[in-house]
Amino acid sequence: MSEASTIFDKIIAREIPADIVYENDDCLAFHDIQPQAPVHVLVIPKRRIENVASLQDGDSEIAGKLLLAVGHVARQLNLAETGYRVVANCGADGGQSVDHLHLHVLGGRQMKWPPG
């Protein structure tokens, strides 16, 4: 693995607890510890990838699987009909604080635009 270890590796390894809502061979989804909406779930690849900017051409499969996992989570948590927001913070200006690729799934309230 090329990128530095993060807290998400510990969640994947079950070394620290997380409220997991969905899992498959490649992805894990769990509730954010500081929710910004009534539903706030993080969808991550189990393989360590730093962020959107570090995705390579060979990562198209895992990138697609992450989006499909978002759909699973949204249906499971009854967000699919009312709608929800998917956010990927990337790098310093993007507000990324954990250097392990993750998609925020936010729902259960009306989202505003533009984001802060």
| Separation between Cα atoms, residue 33 and residue 100, nearest integer Å | 16
Q: Which is nearer to ligand 5GP, 15 or 81 (CB)?
A: 15
Q: Least separation, in Å, of the C-beta of 56 and ligand 5GP? A: 20
Residues from 34 through 63 that contact ligand 5GP (CB under 6 A): 34, 42
Q: Is 80 among the residues that bind ligand 5GP (CB under 6 A)?
A: no
Which neighbouring-strand residues pair with 105?
41, 86
CA 70 to chain centre: 8
Phi, psi of 114, deg, nearest 5:
-80, 155
Residues from 17 through 36 that contact ligand 5GP (CB under 6 A): 18, 30-34
Element (H, E) at 65: helix 60-76
Q: How far is CA 90 from CA 28, 38, 100, in A?
A: 19, 23, 10
Q: Least separation, in Å, of the C-beta of 78 and ligand 5GP? A: 20
Q: Is 102 a catalytic residue?
A: yes
What are the residues binding ligand 5GP (CB under 6 A)? 7, 18, 30-34, 42, 89, 95-98
For the annotated catalytic residues, the residue numbers are 102
